[in-house]
Chains A and B, each alone.
Chain A
């Protein structure tokens, strides 16, 4: 059994760990509120954008000549996956959930004999994926310097994706991120952004016809790249809210576990202290008896 001194040290160390996890939980809770707020505020933009695009694409009569970003290249041989993770750890299953989702998608694609390319956003995803898929990763983007998710960063990712699409480096692009549901639940999502998947939009398209200025094609070809950035930005906002939520619950658990551990160690400490006292008493008494 560990000596009294060792136990004392362990209790002290667990207590200080508890303090750290508690502080991290508080910080995450404060950040979560902010992240959630901005995720909610960002929603109208992406929703409106989606509506406009739906209205536009329904107005396009000539599907064959529609912009490639909308209709796709016609092939599906090369898949680009943008895996969005956090730059920091200690947030529970947040990153590994995304990675798990992405990996199952990767193996599906590879088993179909298709080519796979990966862009990782956030250093944690890169760390986890480079062991297995190191040769597939073509780019790694990290926004360690920017404190909050901002549109400028999303636009940068969007531009990279569009550049690669225009130089026909891939046919289909999917982004992976965690959708924020509540503090305890985050759902890993795979969303196809190129070509635009209009099937999963359940909103009914208005019958009303629009005037377009300039014509549909030109508006669409201007709008679609913006929509990519918007979708990525939405994913980033959802991700940052999810990250904080996940970290908060992970740190809450850690604090609770540390508390349990302190209790257990304290009992053990008291027991061994009592045992030592009893031992000493026995020694004294038996010593006195033998006289």
Chain B
């Protein structure tokens, strides 16, 4: 029996990635990292900033996301996100820019606890990339 399932990542502009031969996906869900294998129970969750790891037969890929929603149903994993970057294509200056932006935002005083939490996550994720 095959252990593969399908992943589809879409952003508002286009369908970002479609893969049929995925073995495992690790997503940075809101309440902690979550690994998804075939025949996972149907689930909806949303993402905090972090790294999506896709393990597939044709090679592993890593993506950096800032937000999004995951939906898993009938061995179809859909990820909706408004900002996603392939880490392989991301250069250092882009990472630094994002990091700087996030740090500036976290320095502001009037933000809510929740957005503070998200920004801290973002900074952490970006730091691990460097």
Q: Are A45 and B44 in contact (CB under 8 A)?
A: no
Report the Cα distance A213→B44, complex, angstroms. 7
CB contact between A52 and one of B11, B30, B31, B80 (< 8 Å): that residue: B80
Chain B residues numbered 46-83 whose CB sits less than 8 Å from any CB in chain A: 46, 67, 69, 71, 73, 78, 80, 82
In chain B, residues 79-107, which have Cβ atoms closer than 8 Å to a Cβ of chain A? 80, 82
In the complex, whether B37 has a CB less than 8 A from a CB of chain A is no
Q: Are A42 and B29 in contact (CB under 8 A)?
A: no
Residues B11 and A45 in contact, CB atoms below 8 Å apart = yes
User: A44: CB under 8 A from chain B?
Assistant: yes
Question: Whose C-beta in chain B lies nearest to the C-beta of A41?
Answer: B14
**Cβ contact within 8 Å between B43 and A42:** no
Is residue A189 within 8 Å, beta carbon to beta carbon, of the partner chain?
no
* Residues of chain A lying within 8 A (CB to CB) of residue B41: 211
Which residues on B sit within 8 Å (CB–CB) of A41? Answer: 13-15
Is A110 in contact with chain B by the CB < 8 A criterion?
no
Interface of B is mostly: strand
User: Once A and B bind, how many residue pairs between them come within 8 Å at the CB atom?
Assistant: 74
C-alpha gap A44/B30 in the complex (Å): 23
- A131 proximal to B (CB < 8 A): no
A237 to chain B, nearest CB (A): 9
- Closest CB pairs A-B (n = 3): A41-B14, A151-B12, A211-B43
Contact A48 B44 (CB under 8 A): no
Q: B interface vs A, CB < 8 Å? A: 8, 10-15, 29-31, 34, 41-46, 67, 69, 71, 73, 78, 80, 82
Contacts of B44 in A (CB 8 A): 52, 55-56, 210-213, 219
A41 to B16 CA separation, bound complex (whole angstroms): 10
Partner of A42 from the list B14, B34, B73, B78 (CB cut-off 8 Å) is B14
Question: Does A187 belong to the interface (CB within 8 Å)?
Answer: no
Q: Using Cβ atoms and an 8 Å threshold, which residues of chain A touch B10?
A: 44-45, 48
A49 at the B interface (CB under 8 A): yes
- B67 to chain A: closest residue by CB: A226
